[in-house]
Amino acid sequence: MTYEEFKREIIKNAEAAGIAEYDLYYSRGLSTTVFAFKEEISDFSDKTSVGLCFRCITDGKTGYSHTQRLDAEEAVRLVEDAKACAGIIESDEFSIIYSGSESYNKLPPAAEISVDASLLIEKALEIESKAKAKDPRVLSVDYAISAFSYGETALYNSHGLDLREDRSACELYCSLVVEDGGRKYIGFEGKSYASSDKMDTDGVAGKAVDMAIGAIGGKSVKSGQYPVIFSSRTAAEMLGAFAGIFSADAAQKGLSLLAGKEGEKIAAPVVTIMDDPFHPESNFTKTSFDGEGVATYTKHVIKNGVLKTLLYDLKSAAKAGKASTGNGMKASFASNVEVSPTNLLISPGEHSLEELMQKAGTALYITELKGLHASADSSTGDFSLESKGYLIENGKISRPAEQFTVAGNFYRLLEDITALGNDFQIESAYGAPSALISGLAVAGE
């Protein structure tokens, strides 16, 4: 049974059950992943997933039911179970069936609905062979991965809201080991592409090798307070680790220090952060509506250092007397709605990386962070992270640096950004340029 056929069964069954307020959330995903190791395909995964959530409101109570089957019998069970669930629930959970936004931006259709497995096999093997050919010090390629993902999302409700969209992306990953002077150095790289014809095995293999070779000869640094430049990758990873502070729900629960600070200066004037569901480089994370059917839109979270808005779903918006910002997201068909960004992005500056280094003088350039999610407290903003990168002296890279820890507070870090680079890149749903921080505590030798 197709989704459209199943939807018609749900409409019929809901009417027969006397349910006037309901919605149906649907998701379908396809993924193909190829792993190459020692010039052979070591693993191959081809997965399909389908899921639906039926939610109804009866007598002011909300009931849910989920399924991964699309047939007439399951359409009956889904409605019956959700109604029964609403009948026994004791909590007065906030719930609303959204009537719809004035307009929705229409996403272009997915670039590809499928990709031939032979092409993915070819790309995975290419990564491995090109990495080994780039430098004789490449000891092994731990994994070379090529992947394709397709996702489809739909939402229908009793107010007649009927939304549907799809998206796709291809990805390449490489992790390898370089040996030099009896020591081993790890390099990795990953990249997402809008379509299979843009997959760049040379670029991914080359950057992984360069990362490992760039670490050769690395040693620790003296403890102290240093200006720090986060690379575009690590800046995006930091933003992702602390994205939760911009959730209105977190602020209302006391889990973010930004409660009551909308309209106030919370960052340096050079800092502008956008939530952009349509960014051209976001590929698989584009979306025109959230998990509640609210239209998404591009918005300033921070503009020139001023907090313009937190991110709201319908529940947190109702508590604050505001409108939802279209950030009520579902991680899966069976998940509850949670406040989450679409693509959270620090807008790039005007400086090249070399110019940031010249501004910094003596500093550390951070290219790798370890234990980010385990050692970062999103409620307080505190972090202490094992890091790798380079020592900068007299405005230029002096040598590789490793076995040191940077510590600070993300709220303070936003205020201490003195300049931003023009080398913007996206890591998953988070993007940033290189960022120069005036000072962070460094624990080394």
Q: What is the 3-state secondary structure (H, E, C) of 62-129?
A: EEEEEECCCCHHHHHHHHHHHHHHHHHCCCCCCCCCCCCCCCCCCCCCCCCCCCCHHHHHHHHHHHHH
Q: Residue 15's pLDDT is what?
A: 97
**Which of the four pLDDT bands, split at 50, 70 and 90, describes residue 373?**
confident
Residue with tokens 């300049």: 419
Residue with tokens 């007299």: 394
Q: How far is CA 351 from the centre of its chain?
A: 25
Q: How many residues does the chain have?
A: 445
Burial class (CB in 10 A: 0-12, 13-18, 19+), 69: middle
CA dihedral of 223, 228, 230, 234, whole degrees rounded to 10: 30
Give yes or no for residue 218 having a pLDDT over 80: yes
User: CA 175, CA 142: separation in Å to the nearest integer?
Assistant: 6
Sign of CA dihedral 426, 427, 432, 434: negative
Q: Residue 427's pLDDT is what?
A: 81
Residue 186: enclosing H or E segment and its boundaries? strand 183-193
Q: What count of Cα atoms within 13 Å lies in the side-chain half-sphere of residue 387?
A: 31
pLDDT tens-digit readout, 406-425:
999 999 999 999 999 999 99
The mean-pLDDT minimum among 191-195, 222-226, 369-373 falls in: 369-373
Residue 331 is encoded by which pair of tokens? 């991680």
Give yes or no for residue 206 having a pLDDT over 90: yes
The mean-pLDDT minimum among 65-79, 88-102, 371-385 falls in: 88-102
Q: Residue 374's pLDDT is what?
A: 86
Q: How far is CA 184 from the centre of its chain?
A: 31
Residue 216 is encoded by which pair of tokens? 């050769």
pLDDT tens-digit readout, 15-71:
999 999 999 999 999 999 999 999 899 999 999 999 999 999 998 899 999 999 999
For β-strands 138-157 and 417-420, DSSP reports them as unpaired
pLDDT tens-digit readout, 277-295:
999 999 889 999 999 999 9
Residue (of 423, 274, 426, 268) closest to 348 by Cα position: 423
**Which of the four pLDDT bands, split at 50, 70 and 90, describes residue 309?**
very high
Burial class (CB in 10 A: 0-12, 13-18, 19+), 396: exposed
Are 53 and 25 spatial neighbours (Cβ–Cβ below 8 Å)?
yes
Domains, the chain, ordered by start: 3-211 (3.30.2290.10), 217-445 (no CATH)
Residue with tokens 């080398």: 423
Residue 373 is encoded by which pair of tokens? 């999610």
Average pLDDT, the chain: 96
